[in-house]
Structure 1
Amino acid sequence: MAKRISHQKSMCGVARPLDAIGDWWSLLIIRDAFDGLRRFGEFQKSLGLAKNILSARLRNLVSHGILDTVPASDGSPYQEYVLTKKGRGLFPVLVALRQWGEEFFFEPGEPHVTLVDKENGFPVQRLRLLAEDGRLLGPTDTVITFPEAVVAD
């Protein structure tokens, strides 16, 4: 198996976070944390993941500041995993992935889970990328810019 390379020094905002969330187990752990799971056993039961792999993924998410460990809410000697501000910032990423998956990986009419607004029970609207002036943007409406090179003395 090829050794994974780190993107820690990359200037790309897509590549750099992949060190923290670049495997499917990590994204599923984060999804479950948004769904209220907090304990190791809850994650394991939900995902059916081997303990050693789950431990490694949880350690990685904690080390990258996406999850934090806190004392168990029931006062038991266990610890729980909670999303940090950085972790909660992944919510739109997971919503975008969910909506993309619903559009391209399910047949029309095929049942699937739906993300709904707790207040009214209506499905969440599709995410949209808007320009500063409110225009809807697509891939051909954007361009990547690079920082200017640092001039050596």
Structure 2
Amino acid sequence: MKRTSFAGDTCPVARAVDVVGDWWSLLIVRDAFIGRRRFGEFEKGLGVAKNILTDRLRKLVAAGVLETIPAADGSAYKEYALTNRGRGLLPVVVALGQWAACEDSGFALVDAKKGKPARLEFRSEDGRKLDPNDVRLVPPAAD
């Protein structure tokens, strides 16, 4: 069954799901955040079939989420690095992890300077902490 493309949809959520809406893509992005950069590292860490991994990496590169760069060790291998667009997915990955309460999974979000636990949260424009019940999505105005 062919998947429907949302690439041209007016909704930004639909367009985002078109890029990272399957589990392998999000898990690849998660692994890139924890420092995996080579095909073999993704393959071993995820236990994904080579053909699926190849396809997802190609799509993430084409979408500007990852880029291929020369290997840090100077070898002939290429590595995959998050782009600015890819790094913008960090709140998505963290929010999914917090929602699933995966703190016991060994993955944690920490303050890079102090090494202390950090959390993703909503803040109002004036700085007040907001609960998910205190916010709502507003659809774009109809033309």
Q: Could you say which structure has the larger radius of gyration?
A: 1
Specify whether residues 120 and 146 from structure 1 end up closer, same or farther in structure 2 by C-alpha distance, changes over 3 A only. closer
Query: How does 1:7-86 map onto structure 2 within 5 Å?
Result: 7-86=6-85
Distance in 2, matches of 1:68 and 1:7, equals 22
Q: How many residue pairs were aligned?
A: 141
Deviation for aligned residue 1:145: 3.1
Match of 1:133 in 2: 126
Counterpart of 2:136 (choices 128, 142, 150) is: 142
Equivalent in 97, 113, 116 of residue 119 of structure 1: 113
Consecutive unaligned residues of structure 1, counting only runs of 5 or more, are none
Task: Name the SS of the counterpart of 1:14 in structure 2.
Answer: helix
Q: CA RMSD in A?
A: 1.9
Q: After TM superposition, which residue ranges in structure 1, 4 or more long, deviate above 3 angstroms?
A: 118-121, 137-141
Give 1:118 deviation, angstroms. Answer: 4.0
Identity of aligned residues (%): 53
More helix by share: 2
Task: State how far apart, in whole Å, the 2-side matches of 1:45 and 1:101 are.
Answer: 23
- Aligned letter for 1:38? R
Encode CA deviations 1:106-152: one digit per residue, 9 max, x unaligned.
8xxxx432333343332213x22223233425356424232342xxx
TM-score, normalised to structure 2, is: 0.87
CA separation in 2, counterparts of 1:124 and 1:137? 16
**In structure 2, C-alpha distance between the alignment counterparts of 1:88 and 1:17, rounded to whole Å:** 14
